[in-house]
Amino acid sequence: MNTRSLFPERGPAFWGTGFTALIASGTIFILFVSLVIESVPVFKTQGVSFLWGTDWFAGEAYGALPMIFGSLMVTAIAVVLVFPFALGSAILTSEFLNGRLRLMVKAAMELLAGVPGIIYGLMGIALLTIWVRDVFGLIDGNTLFTAGLLLAVMVLPTVMTLSEDALRAVPGEFRDTALSLGLTRMEMVLKVVVPQALPGLAGAVFLGLGRAMGETIAVMLVIGGIDRIPQPWFNLFASGQSIPSKIGREAAEALGFDLQWSALIALGLVLFVMVMALSLAGNLLLRRAR
Amino acid sequence: MNRRLFKERTLLIALYSLTVFGCLVLAVILATVITRGGPALSGTFLFEEARNFGLEGGILYQIAGTLILMTGAALVCLPVALGSVLFQTEFLHSPPLKKIFRLLIYSLNAVPTIIFGLIGYLFFGVFLEAGVSWVTGVLILAVMILPTLHVSIHEAVESIPDHYREAGLALGLSPGQQMRAVVLPQSLHGIITGTLLGLARAAGETAAIMFTATAFSGVRLPQSWTEPVTTLQTHILVLAQEAANPIALTNAWGAGLVLLTLVFILITATLWIRSGLEMEAER
């Protein structure tokens, strides 16, 4: 197939828009390639042990494992906490509410999605860390759990809105058939609509996970900022560190070209790969649902 | 039958309480920011510059910095987003290519903002030699909000009825004329809502600009291309880390209230335009 049949007309409009389209679609590759190139120095000096080293001392050793662990942990906490709320409100909005109420819930979610991360961070540092400390009787409220809790609130609108889309994408005939068989509305929802929308719901969760994993500023302020894996590892009420939080804390001092900068970029690469995997899986599942 | 009815009712109540709880979160955030930030607000707070590391004075230049960065980002982003949407809808006819293009834009949307900061600094700060400056910040934010604008404009263009285009084709319009006469005017609402959402996203972003575009104290309006600005977001960030000092915290909440108001005005405007369109469509 020659390109002329793909793009029959080639006026200035074609070249102009084509150029901007190239920028828009090429950016993601530029990001990936830059991350790879800039992280070469640290992989050269440390080898792949960068990925499972547990010590990070700027200038001496760079080990990413505590940050990788922290990221996975806070993301897991967030998704466990947010799922019942997101699914519950998505089911209610899509299947039981109509007209004004539905619009109101949707508008609330849009506003919630727009609250800047730094506001969540401020609420976290001024209120949430103190609540967590007092409620669970801790010495320090800056824990993995606090960060997970904050992230759960932050990704609620994402997971809820996408779940609602997935539920509404189930064709009306399925509902009519279920009702005509004598199921109640709730039985219809739980036994027909939700199972049908399952891939879409999974997609919503994956995209929510991706959002949570990349969130920087709010997590940075409440996670404690200590580069270690808690003892024992499932201790949620210990301080930790996530990848974006680590980058956010050290990027300003490492700005430039030494090994610490390269190590931070390598952390960014690890984060990028994990988030892209989640996002691709999520988008494919959502596409299947439609 | 009664047991089924009971189960139905209980589950419905459970769903309502989960939803109400979710919406309460928004109310709690609003109430907290207003009650804690309200006392800080005053004429001097809004219209004076910060002194003594944000403990005295106001946030005039922080507000200006946030406005500069978000407006600049939207201005840079809009032509690129518009062009790439038009290319996708007017010239890209093969379905697999369209799919790939969409997937690339969605992937860009998922990229953590801190990565835009890291790589953006390398490109704009180091290679373009803009350094830590407002220009670097504007360019980074422009790339970051590109998917937001793209998706919104794309939706609007896709929803133009086919017969509008057919009318244009029947008149013998070239693709360029078709864009100007049919596509752009008919997707204006998408362009506006997309830009507003992009502005809101740029105003709320901290991670991508905190080490690439901003400085904390002693900064006014930038006088050259390579000077940093100070913004509401980074101002709150620094003050929040001195949470033990009640004055710092009050001023952080005050700046937070201003930022939240700005973002919510933008989002409410988007929702308002959209709901107006929906009503028009129902008529």
Residues B206 and B249 in one domain: yes
Q: What is the mean pLDDT of residues A199-214?
A: 92
Beta-carbon separation of B107 and A276 below 8 A: yes
Residues B25 and B95 in one domain: no
Model confidence at B148: pLDDT above 90: yes
What residue numbers bound the domain in which B63 lies? 41-282
Residues B131 and B158 in one domain: yes
Model confidence at A103: pLDDT above 70: yes
pLDDT value, residue B283: 57
Q: What is the mean pLDDT of residues A19-35?
A: 91
Rounded Cα–Cα distance for residues A276 and B108 (Å): 9
Q: What is the mean pLDDT of residues A213-228?
A: 89
Considering only CB atoms, which chain B residues are within 8 Å of A275?
A: 110-112
Structural tokens at position A190: 């739980």
pLDDT tens string A226-264 = 888 888 877 888 888 899 999 988 888 887 668 888 889
Residue B266 C-alpha, separation from nearest chain A C-alpha, in angstroms: 9
B129: exposed, middle or buried (C-beta count within 10 Å: 0-12, 13-18, 19+)?
exposed
Residues B71 and B207 in one domain: yes
* Minimum CA–CA partner of B278 in chain A: A103
Rounded Cα–Cα distance for residues A209 and B240 (Å): 26
Residues B12 and B147 in one domain: no
The number of C-alpha atoms within 13 Å of B103 and in the hemisphere containing its C-beta is: 18
Considering only CB atoms, which chain B residues are within 8 Å of A24?
A: 80-81, 84, 104-105, 108, 146, 150
DSSP string for residues in B143-185: HHHHHHHHHHHHHHHHTS-HHHHHHHHHTT--HHHHIIIIIHH
Model confidence at A214: pLDDT above 50: yes
Most confident range (mean pLDDT) of A31-35, B22-26, B275-279 is: A31-35
pLDDT tens string B212-231 = 888 877 777 888 888 888 89
Beta-carbon separation of B29 and A119 below 8 A: yes
Task: Residue A107: name the closest of B264, B138, B176 by CA.
Answer: B264
Residue B177 C-alpha, separation from nearest chain A C-alpha, in angstroms: 9
Q: Residue type for B9, please?
A: R
Q: Between B53 and B174, whose confidence is greater?
A: B174
Residues B101 and B222 in one domain: yes
Residues B100 and B114 in one domain: yes
Nearest to A244 among B83, B207, B275 (CB): B207
Q: Mind listing the domains of chain A with CATH numbers?
A: 47-289 (1.10.3720.10)
Model confidence at A176: pLDDT above 70: yes
Neighbours of A276 (CB within 10 A): 17
Considering only CB atoms, which chain A residues are within 8 Å of B263?
A: 114-116
pTM listed for this prediction: 0.91
pLDDT band per the 50, 70, 90 thresholds, residue B50: confident
- Tell me the residue length of chain B: 283
Residue A86 C-alpha, separation from nearest chain B C-alpha, in angstroms: 8
Whether residue A151 contacts residue A78, with contact meaning beta carbons closer than 8 Å, is answered with yes
For chain B, give the mean pLDDT: 88
Whether residue B28 contacts residue B14, with contact meaning beta carbons closer than 8 Å, is answered with no
Rounded Cα–Cα distance for residues A159 and A151 (Å): 12
pLDDT value, residue B205: 92
pLDDT value, residue A257: 64
Q: What is the mean pLDDT of residues B102-127?
A: 91
pLDDT tens string A163-173 = 998 998 888 88
pLDDT band per the 50, 70, 90 thresholds, residue A1: very low
Residues B29 and B52 in one domain: no
Radius of gyration of the CA atoms of chain A, in A: 23
Q: Between B139 and B283, whose confidence is greater?
A: B139
Residue A14 C-alpha, separation from nearest chain B C-alpha, in angstroms: 7
Rounded Cα–Cα distance for residues B236 and A243 (Å): 22
* Minimum CA–CA partner of A100 in chain B: B275
pLDDT value, residue A8: 56
Structural tokens at position A123: 């609420």
Considering only CB atoms, which chain B residues are within 8 Å of A86?
A: 22
Residues B53 and B173 in one domain: yes
Q: Which residue out of A3, A25, A29, A74 would a mutagenesis test of the B interface target, given it has the greatest number of B Cβ atoms within 10 Å?
A: A25
Residues B33 and B45 in one domain: no
Whether residue B174 contacts residue A13, with contact meaning beta carbons closer than 8 Å, is answered with yes
Structural tokens at position A143: 């824990």
The number of C-alpha atoms within 13 Å of A71 and in the hemisphere containing its C-beta is: 27
CATH code of the domain containing B86: 1.10.3720.10
* Minimum CA–CA partner of B100 in chain A: A25
Model confidence at A122: pLDDT above 70: yes
Residues B158 and B270 in one domain: yes
- First and final CA of chain B: distance in angstroms? 43
Residues B118 and B200 in one domain: yes
Q: What is the mean pLDDT of residues B170-175?
A: 86
* Minimum CA–CA partner of A119 in chain B: B256
pLDDT band per the 50, 70, 90 thresholds, residue B143: very high
Q: What is the mean pLDDT of residues B90-107?
A: 88
Beta-carbon separation of A213 and B112 below 8 A: yes
For chain A, give the mean pLDDT: 88
What total number of domains does chain B contain? 2
Name every residue whose Cβ is closer than 8 Å to that of residue B96 and which is 6 or more positions away in sequence: none
Structural tokens at position A142: 């800056």
Model confidence at B257: pLDDT above 60: yes
pLDDT band per the 50, 70, 90 thresholds, residue B1: low
Q: For tokens 């790879």, what's the residue?
A: A36
pLDDT band per the 50, 70, 90 thresholds, residue A78: very high
